[in-house]
Chains A and B, each alone.
Chain A
Amino acid sequence: MSQYFINIYDAVKTMISGMSLTLEHLRKKKDLVATLQYPNEKWPQPERHIGFDHKDYNVIRSRLHVDIDDCIGCMQCERACPVDCIKIDTIKPGKGIDFDCGETSNDTRKKMIVPRFTIDMSECMYCNLCVYPCPEECIYMVGGPNEPKHDIDYEYSKYVKHDLVFEFSNVTDQQIVDIGAQSYLDERNSKIDKINQGVNLKGNEPQVSSAPTPAAPVQASDTLEIKCLDIIEDKMLKTPAKKVFFKSKRAGEDDIIKIDKVIAEISKLDGYSPELEQKLKDLL
């Protein structure tokens, strides 16, 4: 009997302690909430303790970045890229046009402008091969040894796939006109128009091969009667053969298929011989 009241006392006590615990969590929700609203908030990148500093790597495989002011448009990176994810267009100033293309940070005079420099990071395989040929060291992977130039970007997640095509060029339309390349601009605009209208651009058209012409339909021949199976002498074979034959006849199948099915059925059974198969085939 005393145990009964002790149980009730324990129940009330533990109820109160449990409820005060959850109430404490409700009250302190600001400090205790563990959820991070991911796209809006991010955890800071954790510190690494692997014996040497992040900057001491020789190579880092992360997002490609181009310091476009240093790019001279030599297209060596485009040629080096094994997956063709780098696309570069260059324009030289026309004859007689005085246009200052600027200087790189290594004091190299630029001879042309780069109106297009796209890197498709969804295709990039992080081989780092485009980095080595660059004479101006303007294309590199961010972070790691290049930490002073550009902070590491370890996720670069996007909502749609084509947002992963990064455009690095900062050439304005006015500059293209000034350099005397109105035709380039027109061509580009017409391409953009076509894309907006949903027209397939040349080179992107899917290969279409003409479909094979269908063969002339074969008339189902239905001349065999069920009695023709009487040529099978063994009763143990005849009954299943007739069953299969009848089923096939009902389905309106061809004579050849009927006989094939019969052969397939009885070939599992005892008493089956190649002579019998030949006999059946002779029926056709």
Chain B
Amino acid sequence: MTSIVDSILSAISFINIDINILLIFAIVIPGLVLFILMALNVMISVYFERKVAAFMQDRLGPMEVGIFGFKGGKKFWGGIGQIFADTVKLLTKEDIMPANADKVLMLVSPFIIVAGALLTFIGIPFSDGLIVSDFNIGILYIIAMSSVGVIGVILAGWSSNNKWSLYGAMRSAAQIISYEIPIGLNLLLIVIVCGSLQVSDIVQWQADNRWFIFHSPFTFVAFFIFFISVVAETNRTPFDIPEAESELVAGWMTEFSGFKWSIFFMSEYANMLIVSLVASFVFLGGWLSPFTIFNVFPDSWLILDGFYIGIFWLLIKAIFLVFVMMWFRWTFPRLRVDQLMYICWKVFIPFSLANLFFVTIWELIAGSIS
């Protein structure tokens, strides 16, 4: 089993039709599944975020809406029906289009952003072999696709015909493009060490040796630089200057409402999940169980590895990182624009370059010793 598309193709190849038509089915099915996954993700993440935010601020969060009379009290499940209430509210809201907006671009821009998020999922694994397509340039593809969204952001800001939207879009573009560089450099570090851009190779290297975060001091630092940079790339607090509520109303989302806005929301939370999954499988061992961190007892049943439990481990790691993002959001105040650029250009990029230099030396020495 190598990838979902391959296994679906082999499963339905007994039907005597042209292979190209079968390929359409093999692509549409995982696409639909990913779309539903993203929708579920946004529903659950919003509730999760509201609860985490509330508890961190000594509040209770949503408490009134239950499911069939089930209300979990003052705990995490306190207003679990809010998930569905929020969804229904968002989808039935009026879809407002400003009179002087660029109608076509305004209609298209949410879908460009969500398409960027969906396309990234093609290269994201959920377990060993549970990946839509495991091509040999996986990491490069993920970096490329995660910056498609910035086109949608700029279109959204421009088409709204609103100065706040345009400000937000410009800031967002500057921020995303700047933070692409440390992300790329830190992923390059991993690629240098394991010698492959393919996702399954990277995780296999970690299974054979050790998790990248504990591989060397430089990869340890690289993980943190990478993680903070991806938080910045998803436009989340403390790097949320593109939508800074107190300055720009809602940034490039100001003029959007109803379904289009919910699409933005969906892509934001999908991006959170994507970057957490990437950080998990690149630095935290992917679908490997936490007992393989230092690979103490290889090939024992004790380490709880496998296909199905791999999904669990990967999602646990990703959800923890999503939680850390929410934790960031409710801890730190927003950065100023110059501070944001300072962190990227004067701290992260020099450190990443130094990392890149030292990790090559480290690998040479470690290689010659072994």
| Chain A residues near B (Cβ < 8 Å) | 4, 8, 15, 18-19, 21-23, 25-26, 29-30, 32-35, 37
Contact = CB atoms under 8 A, between A and B. Distances in A.
Given A32-B58, A33-B58, A22 B63 contact: no
B331 interface: yes
A29 B55 contact: yes
A23 B327 CA distance: 8
Nearest to B346: A4
Query: Top 9 A-B pairs ranked by shortest CB distance?
Result: A29-B55, A35-B60, A22-B331, A22-B56, A32-B58, A34-B58, A18-B331, A26-B55, A26-B56
Given A18-B331, A22-B327, 18 more contacts: A19-B327, A19-B328, A19-B331, A21-B331, A22-B56, A22-B330, A23-B327, A25-B56, A25-B57, A25-B58, A29-B55, A29-B58, A30-B74, A33-B58, A33-B59, A35-B59, A35-B60, A37-B63
B347 interface: yes
Nearest to A20: B331
B178 to A, nearest CB: 18
Nearest to B74: A33
Contacts of A22: 56, 327, 330-331
Interface string B297-333: 0000000000000000000000000000001101110
Contacts of A18: 331-332
Interface residues on B, range: 10 to 19
Interface of B: 52, 55-60, 63, 74, 327-328, 330-332, 346-347
Contacts of B57: 25
B63 A15 contact: no
Nearest to B224: A12
A19 B328 CA distance: 7
Give the residue among A8, A26, A33, A37 with the most B Cβ atoms within 10 A.
A26
Contacts of B346: 4
B354 to A, nearest CB: 13
A25 B55 contact: yes
A4 B328 CA distance: 23
A4 B59 CA distance: 38
Contacts of A4: 346
A83 B63 CA distance: 41
A33 B58 CA distance: 4
Nearest to B342: A7
Contact of B52 (A26, A33, A37): A26
A33 B60 CA distance: 7
Contacts of A34: 58-59
Contacts of B331: 18-19, 21-22
Contacts of A15: 332
Nearest to A19: B331
25 contacts: A4-B346, A18-B331, A19-B328, A19-B331, A21-B331, A22-B330, A22-B331, A23-B327, A25-B55, A25-B56, A25-B57, A25-B58, A26-B55, A29-B55, A29-B58, A32-B58, A33-B58, A33-B59, A33-B74, A34-B59, A35-B58, A35-B59, A35-B60, A37-B63, A37-B74
